[in-house]
Amino acid sequence: MNPDTEARAKPRLDLAAGVRFRRIAGRIFREPLTHFALIGLVLFFGVGVVKAARQPVIRIDSEELSQLIIYWELQMQRPPTQDEVKGIVRERIDEEILSREALRLGLDRNDMIIRRRLAQKMSFATEDLAEAVEPTDAELRTLYNAHPGDYAAPPRMTLRHIFFSDDRAAGDARAAATRALVQLQQGRTDIAGDPFVMASTFADISPEALDKDFGPEFATAAIAARLGDWTGPVRSAYGWHDLRIEARSPAQVAPFADVRTKVREAWLAQRREAMNAASLAKLRKRYRIEITDAEARG
Amino acid sequence: MKRLKQHRAIVWSGLSLALVAGALTFNSDSALGETVRPKASSPATPAARPATTAGAISDPRLPGYNSDRNAYFGDLHVHTKLSYDAYIFNVRGSPDDAYRFARGETIGHAGGFDIRLAGGPLDFVAVTDHSEYLGAMEEAARPESPLSRLPIMADMFSPDPKQIGAAFNRFVAASRSNTVPVEMRDPKIAGRAWKEIQEAAARNNQPGRFTTLVGYEYTSAPDGKNLHRNVIFRSAKVPGLPFSRLNSPDPEDLWREMDKWRGQGIESLAIPHNSNGSDGLMFQTTRLNGAPMDQVYADLRRRNEPLAEIDQIKGSSDTHPSLSPNDEWANFEIMESYIGSATRVTKFAGGYVRDALKAGIVMQEQKGFNPFKFGLIGSSDTHNAAPGSVEEPNFFSKVGRSDSTPELRGSVPPGGARSWNGVILEGGTSRYQYWGAAGLAGVWAEQNTREAVYAALRRKETFATSGPRIRVRFFASYDYPANLASRNDVVAQAYAHGVTMGGDLLPSRGKAPSFLVWGLRDPRSGYLQRAQIIKGWVENGVAKERVFDVACSDHLPLNTTTWRCPDNGASVNTATCEVAQTKGDVELRTLWTDPTFDPKQRAFYYVRILENPSCRWSTWDAIRNGTPPNPALPKTIAERAWSTPIWYEPRH
C-alpha cells in the first residue's frame, strides 16, 4: 500500500467518534464510584512501593559469586555450567534467607557454638587493631633491659685440641697424649696427633655442643681449663686429647641489635595481651554482671 | 640423532641453570664433575659456598665457620598437629613444639607422658606437614567450627586407639575416593596453618646454632602406592599455598609447579620417601602416565629431586634382600606393606634406592639420560612433632596415641601376658612392630645456616643414618697420595684434589680411582664394626652390584679375595642390652682403590658404615616390661650410615 493514501484517509474517521468519547468520559470522570476506585488504586500501588522500598535486600556481588565458584570448582575439579552457576546462586540465597530468618526468630540466642564463634571473631578484631602499632627502639630497649635473662647466650669458647685415637693399641692413646702434653707445655708447636674427622680448632663453641660432640668429660675439662695453657689428657668418646682454650666468653646477654626481632615479637605479644585485657575491661564496664550461683561468685 | 640429543641436553642444562639463576652448585647434567671444591686455601673468599642469587640471599660468615665443612644432623620429615592424620592420632604438638623438641627441650606426647631427645639437640629441622587438608582437622575438632558438623567428622576424635584407627581408615578412604567435603580444603584454613608453619620457622631459626627450613609433604599415593615427597624451601620466600595431591596426584605436575616457583624466585627441592611402600612405582622406569622417559623428563626430575630419603621409621629403602641376595646386611628394618594399610608389597624392583641408582646408570648408558642421580638422606617421619626421635632405648614410635605404649607397638605381649605363646598381633600393631627407630639426615656444610645447609642439600653433600649420629666422609680421586688417610690436613687435601659425595669422577686416563672413606662413631651410640663401599656398575648393558668391606675394626685383616672383614666378635647381652666395650673402633678410615675398576664401565659408589650390633627398640621395651622380646622381631640390629654416591661417568 502507498503510505500517502493511508495518511490522507485517517482524519475523516475521527470526527464523529471524538465528540461521542468526550461526552462519555466526562460522565465517568464525575462518577463518585470512579473516585473511589482511583483512590483505592493509588493506595494499593503506593503501599506496595513503600513496602518494596523497606523490603530487605539479598545482594550477591560478583566477588562473592566468584569465590563460591572457586569452592565449587575445588570440589568438582571442573568449572560449573551456566545452570550450575544458577544453582550455586540459588543455594547461597536460600542459605542467606534461612540464616536471616533464624536471626529474626532469635535462634542464635543460647547457642554455645554461635556464641563462641562470635566471641572469637570479636577478639580477633581487637587483636587486629593492636597489631597496627610499630614499637620504637626506645620502647624495645626498655623491654629488653627489663628481661635480660630472655636474651642470654650460653658461655662460649675457642679451643684447639690434639687427638689420640682409641683405635691405637690399648693404653697407647693416653700415654701418647701424656707425652705430647709435656712437649706442648714446653712450647713445642710441631706436635701432631691422629687425623680427626671433626675440626682441630673450634671457634665460638658452647659447652653443650662439646658435650654433644665429644662427651661430658671433654666438656667439663674445657670449662675447667686455664685460658692459654695446654691441659690433658682429656677423655672423649673417641680417645684422648690435649687441649688449649684460646678465648672464652662468659654467658652473656646478646646485644640488643642481635635480638631486636625477638624483642619486637615479645613487645607485640605483650601489647596484644594488654590491649585485649584493656578492651575487655572497657567492655565489661558496660555490663552489670549477675552471678546467681554462690560458689561461682566467690 | 645423537648429536641432536646432545644439543637438546645442553639447551636444557642451560635452561635449568638459568632457572636457578646459576645460584646453586648442584651437578648439572653435563657430567662435568663440577663438585670439585675450590681450594680450601683461600679463606678470604667464601668460595666453598655456592654463589648466591644476585643479592637475594647473603650468608655472612659466622664464628663457627669451617672451610673443611662440619657435619650437621637434622630431620627433614616432621609432622605436627597441623597434619590431618597426626591430629586424628591425638597429637597436639605445634611446629613451635617440634623446634623446641629438636633443640633438646621437653614436650608432651599424645600418650600423656613427656618426651625428650637423649642424644641432645639436632642442628637443623624442617616441619613437613601434609599439605592435603592442612590445618583442617584441628579446625574441625572445634565445636564452634562449621567443619565439626560435617557427617564425616562423627567419631573422628577419640582417645581410644581402636577408634583412632577406624577414624583414620575412614578418612583416608574418603580422601582416596575424593569424597572428603570441600570445606576441609578451605584455602583460608590451609592459609592460616601455612602461615603458622612459616612463622614458627622464622621464630626458631638461629643462624650459626639452629637451622629451620620451611617445608611440607606432598601426599600422593595412586591406588595406595606411595609417591609421597617432602618439599623443602631454601628461604622464607615460599608460595602462597603448597601444591598438593589435591592439585594433581602426578609428581610431574609438582615439579612443573616448582619450576614455575623458581621462575618467581622461590627455590625448593623435593625428597621422595618410603619408596619401599610404593610397590615399585616410585622408581619405575616409565613415567607415571605410562609414557617412556626422555631427556626432558629426566632433567625435570633431577632439577627438582636431587635427593631421596633412604631410611625412616617406616623402614629402610636401601635395598630388599630379594634384590641384593649377596648383601648380608640387606635385611635391615624391611617393611613389606603399603603405607598406612596392611596391603602387601609385591614388587620390590623400583621400590628401593640401590635398584634405582642401578636403573639410572643403565638408562644413562643406553638412552643418554639418568633420572635417578640422587643423593641420600634419612629422616624420621615422626607424627609426634618430635624431630630426631629415632633413638633405640628412647623410642616411642611415630603415630601419636596409636603406638604410644609397648603393647600397642607390638614389643610386649598384649593384655599383660608374660609370654608370646599363641599371640597373634592385629590391626595397626601388626605393622608397628616392624617399624624401626631410624632416620636422620646429615649434611656437610661450612656453618649451620639455612643458606649453607640448603646448599649442601642441593649439591648432595649429604648422608643418612639409621639414628646414631655417625659422621661419614667420602672422597674420590685419581691423584690422592697413598698416605692421604694419615695426613693431618687430610680433609683439605681430599677436597682440593678430588670430588666428594654427590660428585662425578671424570673419565679415567687408565688409572683406577681411589676412595677416601672415613666414619666416626656417635659418642652416645656403639662402636664401628666395618666400613663398606657399595658399587653398582653397567656390564654388557646389565646393572650389577657388589658390597666391598674396605676397612675393618680392631686391626683385623681384610680378606681381599672375598672383600670381607673377619667377625670382630662383638656381642650383645639381650637380657640387659649391654655390649662389650672392647670391640669395634672409634673411627674407620682408609684409602681404597677399586680392584675391579674398568674405565669403560659406568658406575656409582656409596659408603655404608656399620656399627657393632646393639639392641633393637623392641628389645629395650621388652626388658623394661620384664617379658621376652617379640619372637617375630630381630633382637638386635646393626645401626648404620650411608653416604651419597660418587658417580663414575666414562667418556662415550
Indicate whether A67 and A96 sit together in one domain. yes
Q: Say which residue the cell 658417580 belongs to.
A: B647
Residue B574: the pLDDT is 95
Q: Which residues in chain B touch residue A214, judged by CB atoms under 8 angstroms apart?
A: 523
Q: Please tell me the number of Cα atoms within 13 Å of A120 on its side-chain side.
A: 10
Tens-place pLDDT, residues B28-42: 333 333 334 433 333
State which amino acid sits at residue B458: R
Q: Are residues A205 and A288 in the same domain?
A: no
* Interface membership of A213 toward B (CB under 8 Å): yes
How many domains in chain A? 4
- Domain residues for the domain of B103 are 74-441
Domain total for chain B? Answer: 1
- B156's grid cell: 573422628
φ/ψ region of B577 (left if φ > 0, alpha if ψ in -120 to 50, else beta) reads: left
As beta bridge partners, residue B72 has B443
User: Is there a single domain that holds both residue A41 and residue A118?
Assistant: no
**What confidence category does residue B377 fall into, taking pLDDT thresholds of 50, 70 and 90?**
very high
* Shared-domain flag, residues A264 and A183: no
The verdict on residue B150 lying in a domain is yes
Whether residue A94 sits in one domain with residue A72: yes
Search chain B and give the residue with CA nearest A119.
B144
Nearest CA in chain A to B583: A167
pLDDT in tens, B252-268: 999 999 999 999 999 99
From the list B144, B471, B555, the residue facing A116 with the nearest CB is B144
- Whole-angstrom Cα distance, residue A215 to residue A237? 6
pLDDT at residue B12, rounded to an integer: 54
Q: Are residues A161 and A238 in the same domain?
A: yes
Evaluated on CA atoms B187, B193, B198, B199, the torsion sign reads: positive
Q: How far is A147 from chain B (nearest CA, A)?
A: 18
CB-CB contact of B19 with B309 (8 Å): no
Q: Which of these ranges, A111-115, B203-207, B363-367, B479-483, has the smallest mean pLDDT?
A: A111-115
Has residue B345 been placed in a domain?
yes
Interface A-B: count of C-beta contacts within 8 A: 83
Residues A44 and A90 in one domain: no
Residue B259 lies in a domain: yes
Q: Which residues of A touch B182 (CB under 8 A)?
A: 71-72, 74-75
Identity of the residue in A113, A200, A237 whose CB atom sits nearest the CB atom of B144:
A113
Query: Is residue A60 assigned to a domain?
Result: yes
Q: Which of A28-37, A214-223, B502-511 has the lowest mean pLDDT?
A: A28-37
Length of chain B: 652
DSSP string, A35-70: HHHHHHHHHHHHHHHHHHHHS------HHHHHHHHH
- The verdict on residue A228 lying in a domain is yes
How far apart are the CA of A113 and the nearest CA of chain B, in angstroms?
A: 4
Q: Do residue A193 and residue A122 come from a single domain?
A: no
- Residue B133, pLDDT > 80, answer yes
Tell me which of A111-120, A171-180, B362-371 is least confident.
A111-120
On whether any CB of chain B is under 8 Å from the CB of A108, the answer is no
Calculated CA dihedral for residues B377, B378, B382, B387, nearest 10 degrees: -70
**Could A205 and B182 be called an inter-chain contact, meaning their C-beta atoms sit closer than 8 Å?**
no
Using CA atoms, how far residue B615 sits from B118, B388, B419, B580, B611, in Å, is 16, 18, 19, 13, 12
Count the Cβ atoms, other than its own, within 10 Å of residue B226. Answer: 25
Residue B401, Cβ density class (10 Å: 0-12 exposed, 13-18 middle, ≥19 buried): buried
Is residue B609 in some structural domain?
A: no
CA–CA separation, B297 and B291 (whole Å): 10
CA distance B420 to chain A (A): 38
CB < 8 Å to A192, chain B: 488
A61 with A115, same domain? no
For B463, phi and psi rounded to 5 degrees? -145, 170
Q: Which three cell numbers stand for residue B284?
A: 619405575
Residue of B nearest to A170 (CA): B582
Report yes or no: A116 at the B interface, CB cutoff 8 Å: yes
Q: Is A236 in contact with B586 (CB distance < 8 Å)? A: no
pLDDT at B97 over 50: yes
DSSP B585: B
pLDDT digits (tens, 9 = 90+) for B607-649: 999 999 999 999 999 999 999 999 999 999 999 999 999 999 9
Which of chain B's residues have a Cβ under 8 Å away from the Cβ of A205? 64
Going by C-beta distance under 8 Å and a sequence separation of 6 or more, which residues neighbour residue B243? B131, B218, B231, B253, B254, B257, B258
- Residue B587: which of A116, A167, A265 has the nearest Cβ? A167
Cβ separation of A237 and B586 shorter than 8 Å?
Answer: yes
CA nearest B69: which of B484, B501, B584, B398? B501
Report yes or no: A203 at the B interface, CB cutoff 8 Å: yes
Minimal CA separation from A183 to chain B, in Å? 18
Check A198 against B144: CB less than 8 A apart. no
- Put simply, the answer to whether B70 touches A199 (Cβ < 8 Å) is yes
CA dist., res. A190 & res. A177, Å (int): 14
What pLDDT is recorded for position B9? Answer: 53
Domain at A233, CATH number: 3.10.50.40
Position A241 pLDDT exceeds 80: yes
**Could you give the C-alpha distances from B630 to B380, B393, B435, B618, in angstroms and in order?**
23, 16, 13, 7
Q: What is the pLDDT of residue B550?
A: 98
CA A136 – CA A127 distance, rounded (Å): 19
Q: From the CB of residue B541, how many other CB atoms can be counted at a distance below 10 Å?
A: 8
Strands (E), B478-602: 499-500, 504-505, 514-520, 528-539, 542-552, 572-573, 578-579, 587-593
Distance from CA of B192 to the nearest CA of A (A): 13
Give residue B628's identity as a one-letter amino acid code. P
Chain B residue set in contact with A, beta carbons under 8 Å: 62-66, 68, 70-71, 104, 119-121, 143-145, 181-182, 185-186, 203, 208, 246, 471, 473, 485-488, 490, 518-524, 553, 555, 585-587, 589
Q: How far is A98 from chain B (nearest CA, A)?
A: 16
Domain that holds residue A244: 155-250
Residue B100: inside a domain: yes
Q: What is the mean pLDDT of residues A21-49?
A: 83
Whether the pLDDT of residue B50 is over 70: the answer is no
- Indicate whether A50 and A60 sit together in one domain: no
Report whether pLDDT(B56) > 90.
no
Q: B555: which chain A residues are within 8 Å (Cβ-Cβ)?
A: 167
Residue type (1 letter), B309: E
Angle at A127 (CA atoms; ends A123, A133), nearest 5 degrees: 160
| d(CA A222, nearest CA chain B) in Å | 17
The mean pLDDT of A80-107, rounded to a whole number, is 92
Residue B4 Cα to chain centre, angstroms = 36
How would DSSP label each residue in B371-390?
TT--EEEE---BSSS-TT--
Q: Are residues A130 and A258 in the same domain?
A: yes
Q: Which three cell numbers stand for residue B224?
A: 595406595
Q: How many whole angstroms separate alpha carbon B397 and alpha carbon B387?
A: 12
Same domain, A42 and A30: yes
- Residue B51, pLDDT above cutoff 50: no
